[in-house]
Amino acid sequence: MMLQRVSGVIKTDEEIELIRISSLLVGKTLALMAAHLKPGINTLFLDKMAEEFIRDQNARPVFKGYNGFPASLCISVNEEVVHGIPGKRELKDGDVVSIDCGIEKNGFIGDSAYTFAVGQVSDENIRLLHVTHECLNRAVEAAVAGNRVGDISHAVQSHAEANGFGVVRELVGHGVGKSLHEKPEIPNYGKRGSGPLLKEGMVLAIEPMINRGVRNVKTLSDHWTVVTADLLPAAHYEHNVAVRKNKSEVLSSFREIIEAEKLNNNLNTKHHI
Ligand code: MG
Ligand code: MG
């Protein structure tokens, strides 16, 4: 089992293309969410819309039923960092909303997340989103064959902390493929040159989770929702990335999400890089 699991980390080009299909479908689902986000909407409404869209594409929302998770999306508002359960909570003007989505199609999984700013979001929260997205981009650049996981981790941590933000330690990125969570784990903190070697053909879900205040988090009594210890907002962006020689290749895409954001007058786009 162990050997099989380790060798399973390297994907063929055909497998990477299948992951890309699923990752791009996640982007389309998040773009649909971007078109409908507005104050007054509840998060369960968004989840149902996403699930219907995903199933219409002959695909499956992988979060639903994963360790008993009850929904297709994780929707995490303000102080909620990740794993927020869609429900009756209504979005309001000024909210920071992270939506995480995992989709399986043709046996392969895409897993990507984006954080939105609803209406009049404070300048400090806009800066949080902007910097977290920058952390993701810097981390992606480090996902090159011959580097180590610690190079990715360091890219996130150094940029977030230089901007005065807290880096969540309890949750990590991961390999992705036939399973949602594969080896290696990708922490958002760490030292350059440390950790597992990155090899051509690995596919990684890189996902900085960055807090405006302290790095500490706690889990609510629903056993899922992770919130910041100081209840200040958090942001979360996630891409799926194939490790290549001399470069990294992003398989997911925010392009359609950003286009939908720009067309939605209820969303603030000042955080765009
Ligand atoms: Mg995710
Ligand atoms: Mg993930």
| CA of 176 relative to ligand 1 center, distance in Å | 10
Residue 114 domain boundaries: 2-263
pLDDT digits (tens, 9 = 90+) for 181-211: 999 999 999 999 999 999 999 999 999 999 9
pLDDT over threshold 60, residue 3: no
Separation in Å, CA 188 to CA 32, 47, 89, 109, 171: 28, 27, 29, 22, 8
**Per the domain annotation, does 268 fall within a domain?**
no
DSSP 214-255: -S-EEE-TTSS-EEETT---EEE-BEEEEEETTEEEE-S--H
Q: What is the CATH number of the domain that holds 29?
A: 3.90.230.10
**Per the domain annotation, does 199 fall within a domain?**
yes
Using CA atoms, how far apart are residues 86 and 207, in angstroms rounded to an integer?
Answer: 20
**Per the domain annotation, does 169 fall within a domain?**
yes
Domain count, the chain: 1
- Can you give the pLDDT at residue 9? 87
pLDDT over threshold 60, residue 4: no
**Per the domain annotation, does 269 fall within a domain?**
no
- Predicted confidence band at 7 (pLDDT cuts at 50, 70, 90)? very low
| CA of 44 relative to ligand 2 center, distance in Å | 21
Ligand nearest to the CA of 101: 1
**Per the domain annotation, does 270 fall within a domain?**
no
| CA of 237 relative to ligand 1 center, distance in Å | 8
Ligand nearest to the CA of 82: 1
Per the CB < 8 A criterion, the answer to whether 25 and 252 are in contact is: no
| CA of 89 relative to ligand 2 center, distance in Å | 23
- Predicted confidence band at 65 (pLDDT cuts at 50, 70, 90)? very high
